[in-house]
Amino acid sequence: MPCIEVGTIGGGTVLEPQAAMLDLLGVRGAHPTSPGNNARQLARIVAAGVLAGELSLCAALAAGHLVKAHMSHNRSAAPSAAPSRVQSPNPTQGKPLPQGLAMTGMSSKR
């Protein structure tokens, strides 16, 4: 990530939840001896989290889990869970989705 802007001083860092997370990561406020070191460390943490997410996504794609999950949670399919006590009318229920929005399996494209 060549350019990522993060901060450990000012702005939303004074809010209690944000301050608690920065404290948990050990990067809240200014570094006592090296100005900017806490912000650099926070940027590294964010970049590592993004990289882990990307690797997880690539693994799910390679293993076919992503397609299976999308097919099993397809909103255009009939609901498989028990209906809730209060149901709101769904104007699109039973109607086919536009072609660009319909989810298809990999085998149907071959």
Instruction: Give the domain ranges of the chain.
Output: 1-75
Predicted pLDDT at 69: 86
Which residues are CB-contacts of 32 (< 8 A; sequence separation ≥ 6)?
none
Does 42 or 96 have the greater pLDDT score? 42
Token pair in block for residue 69: 């999950």
pTM of this structure:
0.59
Compute the distance between CA of residue 1 and CA of residue 20 in angstroms, rounded to an integer: 25
Token pair 């609901």 in the structure block, residue: 79
3-state helix, strand, coil in the chain (%, to 5): 50, 0, 50
Does 92 or 62 have the greater pLDDT score? 62
Cβ atoms within 10 Å, residue 6: 17
